[in-house]
Amino acid sequence: MNETTTIPGYTYGSPNLARSPITPDAFAAMKQSALFGDDDVRYLRMSADVVRPQVDAILDVWYGFVASTPHLVASFSGRDGQPIGDYLGAVRRRFGQWILDTAAAEYDQAWLDYQHEIALRHHRAKKNRTDGAASTPLVPFRDLFLLIVPVTTTLKPFLAAGGHTAADVDKMHAAWVKSCLLQVTLWSHLYVKDGDF
C-alpha cells in the first residue's frame, strides 16, 4: 500500500510494530459510528490521483498554519522555544506519505498497527524517538484532535482541483473528514484512562 519505503522513520507494515490495542470488531463499530462505509473507501481512492501531485502544496498550507500558530508549532520546538527545522522536515516527509496512505488505506490490521505507531509518536510514550529530536514530550490531545478542522477544511480546494463534479468533491471531502476522525480517535487511545476508551 505504501508508495515509498525510503522515508526515514516510515515503518508502515513493519513486523516490528506493536499490535494495535483496537480489535477489528471495535474498529468495525467505530466505522459504523462514523457512518464510514465502502462508498467512503471508494471516494478516498478517487481522491488519490487528485492529491498525489499536490502533496507538497497541501503540506505548505498545513505547515504554514502550524508555523503561524505558536501553541501548535511548540510541539516541534526545542527547549529554547524555537522550531527544530530538521524535526519539522522529517515529520513533513512522513506527513506527505500519510496523505497518500489515507487515500489508499485498506483499514486492515497492518493499517491499525501503524495508526497505533502514529499514536505512540504523538504521545509521551514515544514522541521524539523516531527522529532523535529534543522537543516537547507530548503533542497535547486538544491540539491533535482539533487539527481535524483546518486539515480537512483546507483540503477541499485541493480535492476540487481534480476536475470531478461538485458532488464527487463533496463525497471525497466527506470521506476524508470521516477517515481523519477515525484516525485521530485511534490515536487518542493513549490519552484516555484505561478502561475509558
DSSP letters along 119-150, please?
HHHHSTTTTTTTTT----S---HHHHHHTHHH
What angle do helix axes 85-104 and 109-122 make, rounded to 10 degrees?
160
CA–CA dist 69, 125 (Å, integer): 25
CA–CA dist 167, 48 (Å, integer): 17
Which positions ≥6 away from 122 have C-beta within 8 Å?
138, 139, 144, 187, 190
Mean pLDDT over 45-66 rounds to: 97
CATH class of the domain at 29-191: mainly alpha
pLDDT of residue 154: 98
**What 8-state DSSP symbol labels residue 18?**
P
Residue 5: pLDDT band by 50, 70, 90 thresholds?
low
pLDDT above 80 (res 4): no
- Residue 77 has phi, psi (to 5 degrees) of -110, 160
Alpha carbon distance, N-terminus to C-terminus of the chain: 28
> What percentage of the chain has pLDDT greater than the value 70?
97
CA–CA dist 94, 84 (Å, integer): 16
| pTM score of the predicted model | 0.94
Which positions ≥6 away from 136 have C-beta within 8 Å?
74, 75, 77, 127
Per-residue model confidence as pLDDT tens digits over 155-190: 999 999 999 999 999 999 999 999 999 999 999 999
3-class SS shares of the chain: helix, strand, coil, % to 5: 65, 0, 35
CA–CA dist 77, 84 (Å, integer): 5
- The ranges assigned to domains in the chain are 29-191
Mean pLDDT over 121-129 rounds to: 97
pLDDT above 70 (res 1): no
pLDDT of residue 2: 47
